[in-house]
Amino acid sequence: MAIGNQSPDVPSRPRTAAVGDLAKIPVTSIDGVGGQLAARLDRLRIRSVQDLLFHLPLRYQDRTRAAPVGGLRLSQHALVIGRIEHTAVTYGRRRALLTRISDGTGALTIRLFHFSQAQQRNLRRGRWLQCFGEVRPGPATLEMIHPEYRVTDRPARPDPSAGLTPVYPITEGLTQARLRRIIDAALADHLGSVVELLPKKILLSLGYPALREALSYLHHPPATVSPEQLATGQEPVQQRLAFEELLAHHLSLRLLRERRQRLRAPVLAGDAACRAAEDFMAQVGFQPTAAQRRVVSEIGRDLERDVPMLRLVQGDVGSGKTLVAAASAVRAAATAHQTAVMAPTELLAEQHWRTFSGWLEPMQINVGWLSGQLPARERRAAQAALAAGEIDVMVGTHALFQAGVEFSRLGLVVVDEQHRFGVDQRLALRDKGQLGDHVPHQLIMTATPIPRTLAMTFYADLDVSSIDQLPPGRRPVDTVVVPESRRPEVVARVAAACADGRQAYWVCPLIDESEALDIQAATAIADALSLALPDHAVGLVHGRMRGTEKERAMQRFRNGEIDVLVATTVIEVGVDVPNASLMIIENSERLGLSQLHQLRGRVGRGAVESVCVLLYHPPLGATAQFRLAALRETSDGFEIARRDLELRGPGELLGTRQTGLQRMRVADLARDRALLPKIQAVGQRMMRGHRGAVTALVDRWVGGGEDYSNV
């Protein structure tokens, strides 16, 4: 099928009714789809004819040519045609039906664990079998286990003109063959009703093929294109659909922004608020950076409006996001409004509580603490004080949005490490302050910087501020990569640092021994270091300890009573001990790039030169080499984020915020990031002049999913 760049012969203005028709025609209108099959399709989020047409293949198989049995290789997926020599039921550990076929070049066994008597009779000696599956080792010959097959009385020949065979996402009780028949029926009956939603001029300027052509091609690509070529996702038809899908998600966020701007928020302005923020910045005991002052001003301008602020503050580890949040809380308190500060872990939340208390209570701003670990009496007292308006800033974990927690006048919500929270959790906290159409302002912070283009496209409903400057005195951390065989040298380095009065972290990914993963456990490392460093105190912190135990160990580390703190990745975020100048990370090859960067950021917070040692178990795979090389080459969090996007895609960067991104049908943000600048430009044009198409595109690709991003 030829793919050109001509606009389809359909109206340039979308007929929303026609789009709605396809979306409203149930799958049960397709021949052969009854209630039971419809229920299975529903598990794949396929409920309408439109859903069927846009349920795109994961990959493709070439069944246009048969492979000689004698030339098959292990793990190869191949089409073979052979004559049945023998069929029998065997009784070993599992009952199985074995059929041996031959094509003159070799023999192959077909193994079926689930079969009927009719199948057994059908697979009789002398008949011909055409089957497609994965080649596996067997006791006598190579095997295929439960391949797709067809029995004939004469040798069948594959049809080179048939094109590649699509492989779709399926669910239990639904076979590939059955789903292909259903989708083919939908294409035959309804492809002509698919409406082009991209305006004609935009489609021509992009040079993309028409939507109907792209859908037809992707469901039935010709054999002239290889499955490997399609796997790259760079075919024009794939890029055309990826563009439309990414555009729809982007537009959904723009619509959310418009919706939010129709709500109202308290105005946190006036001379008292400005003066209080200035006084706070002057009395913190250090000189805020120009970047911190700029972001504080950006937030201040937002808070002076009656439109709800939704601002993402991103900054590298140690850039001073907490100061920015505290300055915003001071403005809220000066206008008699409360602030909620939510952090993902007990350790980080309690550290925020101590920091906010030290900064704000001298200004007569009351700071409270709420956690699931609090005794019931203390918890009830904190909730009562909060509801009575006696607490100005309440810091806590997930406990903040649970039932029974009531604010008096919640004006500002601060969420730290936003990617660690589910969208519904942030919505629940925001709703604590909703009165009619009035909602609190929201400030979202992340220490995982997001590349600018990605942020502009997939945080289009937020304003983004970047603290792109580290406080003076912060020294870069020297990062070294060391094989596990040099562990004694690393232990000696730790001993030397402790002898000089410094402290060290030793991070282990797991708590207990795991033979399956071959990872040294934190408990075993703590015991070994206690023996190796008899003159120095070794402590242990992990996620299974009670909150009071963790805090006691951390407090002893802060006070210098513990020289080496062995910990799991629970200390990844927020823990600040300036005297700690050495970080050892076990099994560093198993951790993600952003996570390694976060852990490294726990050191280098004092004036002394700091070192991060990445211990690894050889041999290193290509991905692990990429990660460790990146850590060694740069300490710039924005550059780390760019490389992490290359390596793993947007999941780690966007977290659970955009739930719809986890359901992309064709687009891949890492692969398709070059499309993002075009998407922003086209998104602006469509919001200005093609509003009907905007709504229809969002309905087609996102559906109701955009509601979950409204935070």
- Report pLDDT for 473: 65
How confident is the model over 340-374, as pLDDT tens digits? 999 887 778 888 998 999 999 999 999 999 988 78
SS3 506: strand
Top CATH class of 271-467 equals: alpha beta
Asked whether the beta carbons of 392 and 326 are under 8 A apart, the reply is: no
Residue of 321, 329, 342 lying closest to 396 (CA atoms): 342
Average pLDDT, the chain: 85
- Three-class SS of residue 635? coil
Helix (H, G, I), strand (E, B) or coil at 18: helix
Instruction: Give the C-alpha distances (Å, rounded to integers) separating 478 from 579, 655, 698.
Output: 16, 28, 47
Tens-place pLDDT, residues 41-94: 999 989 999 999 999 999 999 898 899 999 999 999 999 999 999 999 999 889
Q: CA-based angle 260:654:642, to the nearest 5?
A: 125
Residue boundaries of the structural domains of the chain: 16-60+167-231, 65-158, 271-467, 478-634
Q: Residue range 663-671: average pLDDT? A: 78
The CATH architecture that domain 65-158 belongs to is Beta Barrel (2.40)
What amino acid occupies position 232? T
- Element of type H or E holding 59: strand 59-61
Query: Which fold would CATH assign to domain 478-634?
Result: Rossmann fold (3.40.50)
Domains 65-158 and 478-634 share a fold: no
For residue 216, how many C-alpha atoms fall within 13 Å in the half-sphere facing its CB?
A: 15
Determine if the pTM surpasses 0.85: no
Q: What is the DSSP letter of 706?
A: G
Pick the closest to residue 565 from 515, 599, 607, 595 (CA basis): 599
**pLDDT for residue 260:** 82
Residue 425: is its pLDDT beyond 70?
Answer: no
Whole-number pLDDT of residue 697: 92
Task: Give the pLDDT confidence score for residue 391 in this predicted structure.
Answer: 96
Residue 167's CB is within 10 A of a number of other CB atoms, namely 16
pLDDT category of residue 659 using cuts at 50, 70 and 90: very low
The pLDDT score that the predictor gives to residue 19 is 44
CA atoms of 340 and 332, how far apart (whole Å): 10
In angstroms, rounded to a whole number, what is the distance separating the alpha carbons of residues 289 and 615?
Answer: 34
What pLDDT is attached to residue 437? 76
Token look-up 């909620």 returns 340
Q: pLDDT confidence of 440, banded at 50, 70, 90?
A: very high
- Percent of the chain exceeding pLDDT 70 equals 88
Residue 434, pLDDT score:
76
Q: Give the pLDDT of residue 317.
A: 75
